[in-house]
């Protein structure tokens, strides 16, 4: 038996283990210091009551023979797919229920979607980037090219005529940079894709953080996109589902390549290699999209956005260049005094007892940059920013 | 963008849709007849109280900031991996926690495991078979060979020196045949695999139905197996988790190919393409392995096994050849009078209003055979068997 040799091409990621090691060392040497963590990409507020109420009810259904639910459709219950369609309708995007696939999160589907694409496609990935896009393609042995984000393009790279690629990943609001494409910018990507029959994998995991009504919360708000894009979303950040696991993937029926609707391929993939999301979780997810649920999660997101505002106001005051923080839980700052990402990490850990994430961990273009997140307690964010201002 | 052309080699499965169509037609023409379904592979009893109690507690934890759980380790919480190790210890199998991966079910992992194997491996699959084994390999473009189950080998095919294959699927107790390999028989497979560095993918989803203490409930009960087998199990049938989604996959640290531990590859696959099972579900799964949980699920399985006994006693009385039904929820019978699978399907639907599954739907070797399942109400099973006896 031979292993998949592509796995040997993967780089080990020491980013978060190295951060943990450095923080542990600092704590051991400075047990009296209180460290504030602004490096974590995980939510901190609990599930809202609309969700837990629905899940409690679902657990009770599961313990009675009359209401017990066994296997559901792999692509998710109709009640939840319908709720997702209604959510999109409010964005001005009309979807059919068959175009929505309930998933256990955007990460799984962003990786698994590659199953339906031929190996010989070239993949175009923005740098800096969520590492999953890169690693899943290395595992499959695909050729990867990068398009560079940088200070000049405000970490929102755009293609030109020379840009090549069959599959492209776009994440907006972006992880790690927090930058958000405008409709006009996304249209450039869509036109580029339509022109060369490329497919856009659009990661909209942070769409719920968008408050500016002019910014797109779905790529399908750009006309023509149903012919060239698959959209991945998740309730992880929208509704604090990081430990509850539910998302959805939209594969429009109009998206056809080589005369085959990709929707049909993805349905086949999911019915063969997946068995659906727990009934209890789907009931909780459905509650997110009720009036009460939407109002409750909005409150939570406002809490995080307020943290982000406190951070960005401090950076403005200090004259530090950054992207994100508006319409996003991530703030991507340029390390002052030409420091490298790790030099800045060490500096603010040692001097201000603040933990963030070195930008270089997200790609070459991240060198010299640094990610802070708004997923924290507001009092701690204030203390951290006061320390920075000093 | 080019699609994965291997998908075009997949056969459409009309098995269950054709069954549904035939049943619907019969019902329309005979609205007064009460149809008894013995064709479904889904559980019918609700979740046991130990499980729902734990899940209710977990939901409450999720609504409080102090006890809220965000991202967990992709391979599952330590508390559940420990519980699985303890469960195996009772079978005489010692596992390390790092060898256990919590999954959202055996189906997902049986498909996804293929990621870590090279494309050029030859896959050996028993016929008849759970169609997922075949389809997932067709999707990847792998060469498949079959080893035939039949009346002569009681649908427990064994390899000989000429049997080739790098990866082999074994499911015991088997779906669809209900047949169970003895330790001596499994040892033949293990020796065969060790001799040629093949890897056995052992699907033990029905192990909890084994009541005969001489039969193996884990392939690791055969010495040496940790060097050649990955075991997949699920709580779907063990504890009625078909709609709750939790299983586990064991990749022993001793399983090494080309100097690479497969455990390390699978960990990398899961941390890259999966984000773990919901905390609430893992808490429910943990409760399955408590003393109370194990006693409650045993009662449920006894209920199904009693249904199976009623069926097998009827078949014995009628002189119909079958496998399974002892130590398994499936009964695989030879259609009388040389009928084809679909002829027998039509006969018992029309004459006795019983629905089962035509064996040919599980592979060529299934032609002339028929699957009944014990996942039904006992009163209905009795009525169905009385009708057959008439």
For A71, which of B42, B56, B64 is closest by C-beta distance?
Answer: B42
Contacts of A102 in chain B (CB under 8 A): none
Q: Looking at residue A390, what is its pLDDT? A: 83
Contacts 24+ apart (CB under 8 A), A143-151: A146/A363, A148/A365, A149/A177, A149/A179, A149/A365, A150/A365, A151/A321, A151/A334
> To the nearest whole angstrom, how far is the Cα of A168 from the nearest Cα of chain B?
10
DSSP β-bridge partners for residue A11: none
Q: Please, how many CA atoms are within 13 Å of residue B237, restricted to the half-sphere of its CB?
A: 29
Nearest to B62 by CA among A105, A245, A378, A63: A245
Sheet arrangement for strand B322-324: B322-324, B330-334, B369-373, B357-358
The more confident residue out of A15 and A216 is A216
DSSP β-bridge partners for residue B333: B322, B370
Report how far residue A378's alpha carbon sits from residue A362's, in angstroms, rounded to the nearest whole number: 26
Report how far residue B249's alpha carbon sits from residue A375's, in angstroms, rounded to the nearest whole number: 33
Q: For residue A168, is pLDDT > 90?
A: yes
A277-286, B7-16, B122-131: the lowest-pLDDT one: B7-16
Report how far residue A57's alpha carbon sits from residue A277's, in angstroms, rounded to the nearest whole number: 17
Q: For residue B113, is pLDDT > 90?
A: yes
Q: Return the CATH fold of B13-42+293-389.
A: 3.90.1150
Classify burial at A225, counting beta carbons within 10 Å of its beta carbon; exposed 0-12, middle 13-18, buried 19 or more.
buried
> To the nearest whole angstrom, how far is the Cα of B332 from the nearest Cα of chain A?
22
Judged by CB atoms within 8 Å, which residues 321-360 of B form the interface with A?
A: none
Q: Do the Cβ atoms of A27 and B282 come closer than 8 Å?
A: no
Q: Looking at residue A90, what is its pLDDT? A: 97
Nearest-Cα residue of chain A relative to residue B116: A4
Query: How do B357-358 and B247-250 pair as beta strands?
Result: unpaired
pLDDT, tens only, B225-248: 999 999 999 999 999 999 999 999
DSSP secondary structure of B352-387: H-EE-EEGGGG-GGGTTEEEEES-S-HHHHHHHHHH
> Three-state DSSP class for A201?
strand
Q: Do the Cβ atoms of B120 and A2 come closer than 8 Å?
A: yes
Average pLDDT over residues B144-157: 98
For B275, which of A71, A104, A121 is closest by C-beta distance?
Answer: A104
- Please state the separation of Cα B260 from the chain's center in Å: 28
**How would you classify residue A105: left for phi > 0, otherwise alpha for psi between -120 and 50, otherwise beta?**
left
> To the nearest whole angstrom, how far is the Cα of A50 from the nearest Cα of chain B?
10
Classify burial at A120, counting beta carbons within 10 Å of its beta carbon; exposed 0-12, middle 13-18, buried 19 or more.
exposed
DSSP β-bridge partners for residue A36: A354
Q: How confident is the model at residue A94 (pLDDT cuts 50, 70, 90)?
A: very high
Residues of chain B with CATH 3.40.640.10: 49-289
Q: For residue A15, is pLDDT > 90?
A: no
Q: Please, how many CA atoms are within 13 Å of residue A149, restricted to the half-sphere of its CB?
A: 34
Structure tokens at B168: 């082999």
> Three-state DSSP class for A231?
strand
> How many CB atoms sit inside 10 A of residue B65's CB?
9
Give Dmax over CA atoms of chain A in angstroms. 67
Q: Looking at residue A259, what is its pLDDT? A: 97
Contacts of B46 in chain A (CB under 8 A): 62-65, 67-68
> How many CB atoms sit inside 10 A of residue B79's CB?
12
Average pLDDT over residues A294-301: 98
> To the nearest whole angstrom, how far is the Cα of B147 from the nearest Cα of chain A?
18
> How many CB atoms sit inside 10 A of residue A216's CB?
24
What is chain B's length?
390
Average pLDDT over residues A75-100: 98
Interface check for B42 against chain A (CB to CB < 8 A): the answer is yes
Q: Looking at residue A149, what is its pLDDT? A: 98
> To the nearest whole angstrom, how far is the Cα of B260 from the nearest Cα of chain A?
8
Flag whether the pTM goes above 0.90: yes
Q: For residue B259, is pLDDT > 90?
A: yes
Contact B55 A280 (CB under 8 A): yes
Q: For residue B106, is pLDDT > 90?
A: yes
Nearest-Cα residue of chain A relative to residue B11: A268
Q: Looking at residue A140, what is its pLDDT? A: 96
Contacts 24+ apart (CB under 8 A), B192-197: B192/B159, B192/B163, B193/B168, B193/B228, B193/B229, B194/B224, B194/B227, B194/B228, B196/B166, B197/A1, B197/B166, B197/B228, B197/B257
Angle in degrees, CA A330, A335, A338, rounded to 5 = 155
Nearest to A250 by CA among A222, A278, A230: A230
pLDDT, tens only, A109-136: 999 999 999 999 999 999 999 899 999 9
Contact B279 A243 (CB under 8 A): yes
Q: Looking at residue A279, what is its pLDDT? A: 98
Q: In chain A, pLDDT over 90 holds for what percent of residues? A: 97
Tally A–B CB contacts below 8 A.
225
CATH pick for A49-289 out of 1.10.8.590, 3.50.50.60, 3.40.640.10, 3.30.750.24: 3.40.640.10
Report how far residue A285's alpha carbon sits from residue A306's, in angstroms, rounded to the nearest whole number: 25
Q: Looking at residue B146, what is its pLDDT? A: 98
Q: Do the Cβ atoms of A209 and A237 come closer than 8 Å?
A: yes
Q: Looking at residue B41, what is its pLDDT? A: 86
Average pLDDT, chain B: 97
Structure tokens at A242: 């990081």
Report how far residue A281's alpha carbon sits from residue B278's, in angstroms, rounded to the nearest whole number: 8
- Compute CA distances B72 → A175, B79, B276, whole Å: 20, 12, 7
Interface check for B63 against chain A (CB to CB < 8 A): the answer is yes
| DSSP code for B39 | -
Q: For residue B390, is pLDDT > 90?
A: no
Contact A65 B44 (CB under 8 A): yes
Give B25's contacts (C-beta < 8 A, 6+ positions apart). Answer: none
Q: Do the Cβ atoms of A306 and A335 come closer than 8 Å?
A: no
CA-atom Rg of chain A in angstroms: 21
Q: In chain B, pLDDT over 70 holds for what percent of residues? A: 100
Residues of chain B with CATH 3.90.1150.10: 13-42+293-389
Q: Do the Cβ atoms of A165 and A136 come closer than 8 Å?
A: no
pLDDT, tens only, A299-311: 999 999 999 999 9
Structure tokens at B44: 């019918």
Q: What is the 3-state secondary structure (H, E, C) of A112-160?
A: HHHHHECCCCEEEEEECCCHHHHHHHHHHCCEEEEEECCCCCCCCCCCC
**How would you classify residue A11: left for phi > 0, otherwise alpha for psi between -120 and 50, otherwise beta?**
beta
> To the nearest whole angstrom, how far is the Cα of B123 from the nearest Cα of chain A?
10
pLDDT, tens only, B21-75: 999 999 999 999 999 999 978 999 999 999 999 999 999 999 999 999 999 999 9
- Best residue of A103, A112, A272 to probe chain B, by most B CBs closer than 10 Å: A272
Q: How confident is the model at residue A381 (pLDDT cuts 50, 70, 90)?
A: very high
Q: Looking at residue A249, what is its pLDDT? A: 98
């Amino acid at each position: 038996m031979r292993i998949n040799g592509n796995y040997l091409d993967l780089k080990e990621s020491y980013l978060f283990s190295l951060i943990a090691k450095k923080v542990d060392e600092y704590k051991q040497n400075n047990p009296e210091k209180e460290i504030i963590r602004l490096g974590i990409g995980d939510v901190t507020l609990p599930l809202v009551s609309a969700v837990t109420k629905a899940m409690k009810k679902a657990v009770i259904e599961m313990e009675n023979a009359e209401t017990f639910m066994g296997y559901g459709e792999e692509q998710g219950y109709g009640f939840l797919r319908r709720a997702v369609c209604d959510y999109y309708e409010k964005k001005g995007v009309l979807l059919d229920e068959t175009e929505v696939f309930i998933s256990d999160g955007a990460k799984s589907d962003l990786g698994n979607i590659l199953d339906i694409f031929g190996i010989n496609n070239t993949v175009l990935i923005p740098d800096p980037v969520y590492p999953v896009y890169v690693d899943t393609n290395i595992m499959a042995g695909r050729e990867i090219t990068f398009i560079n984000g940088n200070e000049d393009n405000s970490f929102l790279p755009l293609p030109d005529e020379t840009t090549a690629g069959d599959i492209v990943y776009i994440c907006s609001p972006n992880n790690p940079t927090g930058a958000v494409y405008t409709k006009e910018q996304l249209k450039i990507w869509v036109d580029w894709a339509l022109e060369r029959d490329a497919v856009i994998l659009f990661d909209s995991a942070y769409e719920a953080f968008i408050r500016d009504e002019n910014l797109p919360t779905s790529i399908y708000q750009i006309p023509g996109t149903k012919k060239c894009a698959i959209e991945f979303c998740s309730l992880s950040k929208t509704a604090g589902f990081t430990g509850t696991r539910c998302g959805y993937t939209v594969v429009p029926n109009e998206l056809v390549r080589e005369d085959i609707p990709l929707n049909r391929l993805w349905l086949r993939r999911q019915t063969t290699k997946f068995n659906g999301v727990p009934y209890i979780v789907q009931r909780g997810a459905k509650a997110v999209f009720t009036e009460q649920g939407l109002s409750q999660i909005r409150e939570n997101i406002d809490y995080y956005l307020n943290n982000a505002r406190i951070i960005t106001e401090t950076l403005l005051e200090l004259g530090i260049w950054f992207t994100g923080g508006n319409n996003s839980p991530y703030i991507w700052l340029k390390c002052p005094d030409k420091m490298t990402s790790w030099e800045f990490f060490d500096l603010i850990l040692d001097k201000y007892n603040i933990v963030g994430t070195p930008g270089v961990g997200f790609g070459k273009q991240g060198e010299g940059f640094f990610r802070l997140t708004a997923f924290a307690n507001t009092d701690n964010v204030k203390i951290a920013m006061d320390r920075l201002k000093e």
